[in-house]
């Protein structure tokens, strides 16, 4: 009862669940599993060893299971498995490498690039044109907006939010081979156009203002702004410009896409304890 366009090209060992749609121009190579109710839009290329969870939508012209560098040695695609969790939405023209395991309810914008060995949790959102360089850890409910660049070895913890044109760097003495990843702790907010220098940590609930260059660690629940970024005191002093109400910690004022959506953070966290 699936709906597969005539000109789709299949390799070997492709397993297709119930109620799957595959639109015209798609290419599926070998050893692929499409869960029930998956939807693959026009012209997507799925290289070998890819498994897609049920109810997931893959937009037009994505490339899933993109080659790692070892392909180019002998033009043979090695076994680098890509798993994408159920109920995900990958928008058009996204490229995801093999050797990745991505949790359920994943969402991307357009033209996202995700390289190998990016450990990605559940309910993660990555915006248009963002570039995840591989060997990162991105935990549950992390949200990245458009055009974010996550250098290798970065760790981004739960509920952190990263705004457009933020770059997490990793090379303390460029060029070198001794990469030191950035750590973004839970609930931290990194605003637009910020560059975080190698090995630095943005503390739990901290707020880094737009256009900052972060050259040293930012303390938990503190504000850092400027080039170079300087401490501007606790986040709790920030008032909403219109309502005059306290804004941070934002978990009490914002819930869209969060596990406490419609419940409130306090009631949700109490329910878990």
Binding footprint of its own copies on the chain (CB under 8 A): 9, 21, 24-25, 27, 39, 42-43, 45, 57, 59-61, 63, 66-67, 72, 75, 89, 92-93, 95, 109-111, 113, 128-129, 131, 133, 143, 146-147, 149, 151, 161, 163-165, 167, 169, 171-178, 189, 191-193, 195, 197, 207, 210-211, 213, 226-227, 238, 240-242, 247, 250, 253-254, 256
Tell me the closest approach of the beta carbon of residue 173 to its own copies, in angstroms.
4
Closer to its own copies by Cβ: residue 9 or 273: 9
Question: Distance (Å, rounded) from C-alpha 13 to C-alpha 28?
Answer: 10
SS3 of the chain: helix, strand, coil, percent, to 5:
5, 30, 65
Residues sharing a CB contact under 8 Å with residue 98, sequence separation 6 or more, in sequence order? 47, 49, 50, 65, 66, 67, 68, 77, 80, 81, 82, 116
b/e sequence 163-184, b meaning 16+ C-beta within 10 Å: bbbbbbbbbeeeeeeebbbbbb
Tell me the closest approach of the beta carbon of residue 13 to its own copies, in angstroms.
18
Tell me the closest approach of the beta carbon of residue 230 to its own copies, in angstroms.
12
Closer to its own copies by Cβ: residue 172 or 273: 172
Closer to its own copies by Cβ: residue 95 or 273: 95
Closer to its own copies by Cβ: residue 221 or 273: 221
Tell me the closest approach of the beta carbon of residue 128 to its own copies, in angstroms.
6
Closer to its own copies by Cβ: residue 59 or 103: 59
Tell me the closest approach of the beta carbon of residue 33 to its own copies, in angstroms.
20
Which residue in this structure is represented by tokens 């669940």?
17
Question: Distance (Å, rounded) from C-alpha 53 to C-alpha 127?
Answer: 21
Tell me the closest approach of the beta carbon of residue 162 to its own copies, in angstroms.
10
Closer to its own copies by Cβ: residue 69 or 273: 69
Closer to its own copies by Cβ: residue 133 or 135: 133
Pairing of strands 222-225, 230-234: antiparallel
Consecutive H or E run containing 82 = strand 82-84
Beta bridge partners of 21: 3, 39
Tell me the closest approach of the beta carbon of residue 150 to its own copies, in angstroms.
10
The structure tokens listed for 183 are 């750590």
Asked if 99 and 79 count as a contact pair (C-beta separation under 8 A), the reply is no
Q: Which stretches within 2-138 are classed as H helix?
A: 71-74
């Amino acid at each position: 009862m699936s709906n597969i366009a005539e000109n789709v090209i299949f390799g070997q060992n492709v397993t297709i669940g119930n109620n799957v749609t595959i639109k015209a121009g798609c290419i599926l190579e070998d050893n692929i599993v499409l869960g029930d109710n998956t939807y693959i839009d026009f012209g997507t290329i799925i290289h070998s060893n890819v498994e897609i969870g049920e109810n997931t939508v893959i937009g037009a012209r994505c490339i899933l299971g993109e080659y790692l560098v070892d392909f180019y040695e002998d033009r043979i695609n090695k076994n680098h498995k890509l798993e994408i969790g159920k109920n995900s939405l990958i928008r058009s023209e996204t490229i995801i490498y093999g050797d990745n395991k991505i949790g359920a309810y994943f969402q991307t914008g357009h033209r996202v690039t995700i390289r190998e060995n990016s450990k990605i949790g559940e309910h993660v959102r990555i915006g248009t044109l963002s570039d995840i360089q591989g060997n990162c850890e991105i935990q549950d409910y992390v949200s990245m907006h458009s055009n974010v660049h996550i250098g290798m070895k970065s760790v981004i913890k739960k509920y952190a939010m990263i705004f457009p044109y933020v770059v997490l760097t990793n090379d303390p003495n460029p060029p070198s081979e001794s990469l030191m990843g950035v750590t973004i702790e839970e609930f931290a907010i990194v605003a637009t156009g910020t560059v975080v220098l190698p090995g630095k940590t943005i503390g739990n609930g901290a707020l880094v203002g737009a256009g900052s260059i972060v050259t040293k660690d930012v303390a938990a629940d503190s504000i850092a702004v400027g080039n170079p970024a300087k401490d501007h005191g606790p986040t709790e002093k920030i008032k909403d410009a219109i309502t005059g109400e306290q804004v941070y910690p934002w978990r009490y004022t914002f819930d869209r896409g969060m596990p406490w959506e419609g419940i409130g953070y306090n009631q949700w966290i109490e329910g878990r304890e």
